[in-house]
A and B are shown apart, each in its own frame.
Chain A
Amino acid sequence: MTRVAYFDPHPAPTVPRQSPLHHMAEIAPTGDVAVTLREHAFRDHLNLRGEPGVLASAVESVTGLALPLEPQQVVFGDGTSLQWLSPDEWLLIVPGGEGFRLQRELRKALGDAHFSIVDVSGGQTLLSLEGEEAISVLMKSTVYDVDPRHFPVGKGVTSVFAKANAIIRRVDDTRWELVVRRSFADYCLRWLLDAGEEFGIAFQRAEHEVDAREAAPAGEAEMTT
């Protein structure tokens, strides 16, 4: 009996795709820009649910990332990240196209245990916010305390962002990441550009990472048993 149905949602690389912010024009950085905003579109995002004891070893062996067990903890790998969202929920972000393979391997490693893995790649996008005034832009946007004394590198939270929500995480001293829902992405971007205006803000699309869709045959579908 099939227990869970999932498939590779990516078509052949010849099929065009659109990020949630495809319609927004880039804003080139000028001389005194203090904040740079980038969209890192088309990553694969997997939502993992389960007890830590169930997930930890399988996740580490498949992704190479240690499952963060402390609240608000996020670990970064090479193009990957794994974030604590709740005591039984994590967000795994990997290069585009790798999600399906990882899900398959995770499911194999987890066997009959009770867990859930859900592909949410189409539903959210990753932004980065970089520069000396990035923190000022965040202070205008979220009720969460983003002061470095309270928000060290490697921390990540879900909080209120303007009148929407976002995942906010700190990658290094001057670089932050936001994960926003697709339908709110336009609003969040406009908000950020407006908040950053006084400091000078640029908006760019991140150079597309290697398209891992090449690796997997298009339209491959699979059911685990």
Chain B
Amino acid sequence: MFYIYCPYCAEYREEEEFHPKGQAHIARPLDPMATSDDAWGDYLFFRDNPRGVHHELWVHAVGCRKFFNVTRDTRTYAILETYRIGEQPSVTADSVSTGSAASTATLTGVQA
């Protein structure tokens, strides 16, 4: 049972209020009709399954009904940060492997 910081409600809420919606940052091709079958298939069906830092899309379904992004470590289930749609993560697999954000990565949302 996760405890998730909603960046719109600005507080932690219980997992029961949220729905997970899969991998984050999957943008729909701007010109679908000019997209190859392979590229369209990738967009529709193919998702990362990393061991470690992963970015996910969630919605505060029983709450503010806003979608937002969650950066989560799939090994520990620790949520490293949450951020709004349109924002970019500050914690990434790269930043963790280079150690810049990992040491401060905690079970908190981005409150700045």
Contacts and interface: CB of A to CB of B under 8 A. Distances in A.
Contacts of B14: 143-144, 159-160
**Taking chain B's interface residues, is the majority helix, strand, or loop, or is none over half, making it mixed?**
loop
Q: Is the interface of A mostly helix, strand, loop or mixed?
A: strand
Interface in B1-30: 8-11, 13-14, 16-17
Contacts of B9: 71-72, 86, 157
Contacts of A165: 62
A219 B93 CA distance: 62
A157 B8 CA distance: 13
A87 B63 contact: no
Contacts of B63: 86, 157-159
A109 to B, nearest CB: 25
A86 B13 contact: no
A160 B64 CA distance: 12
A105 interface: no
A48 to B, nearest CB: 14
B47 interface: no
Contacts of B66: 86-87
Contact of A71 (B11, B62, B65): B11
Contacts of B17: 143, 159-160
Contact of B11 (A72, A87, A158, A160): A72
B81 to A, nearest CB: 18
B13 to A, nearest CB: 7
B60 to A, nearest CB: 8
B79 to A, nearest CB: 17
Interface in A122-153: 143-144
B64 A159 contact: no
Interface in A142-186: 143-144, 157-160, 165
Given A160-B14, A160-B16, A87 B62 contact: no
Interface string A48-74: 000000000000000000000001100
Nearest to B12: A145
Contacts of A87: 8, 64, 66
A159 B62 contact: yes
A159 B63 CA distance: 6
Nearest to A165: B62
Nearest to B14: A143
Given A71-B9, A159-B17, A165-B62, 20 more contacts: A71-B8, A71-B11, A71-B64, A72-B9, A72-B11, A85-B64, A86-B8, A86-B63, A87-B64, A89-B64, A143-B14, A144-B13, A157-B9, A158-B62, A158-B63, A158-B64, A159-B13, A159-B63, A160-B16, A160-B62
24 contacts: A71-B8, A71-B9, A71-B10, A71-B11, A71-B64, A72-B9, A85-B64, A86-B8, A86-B63, A86-B65, A86-B66, A87-B66, A143-B14, A143-B17, A144-B14, A157-B9, A157-B63, A158-B62, A158-B64, A159-B13, A160-B14, A160-B16, A160-B17, A160-B62
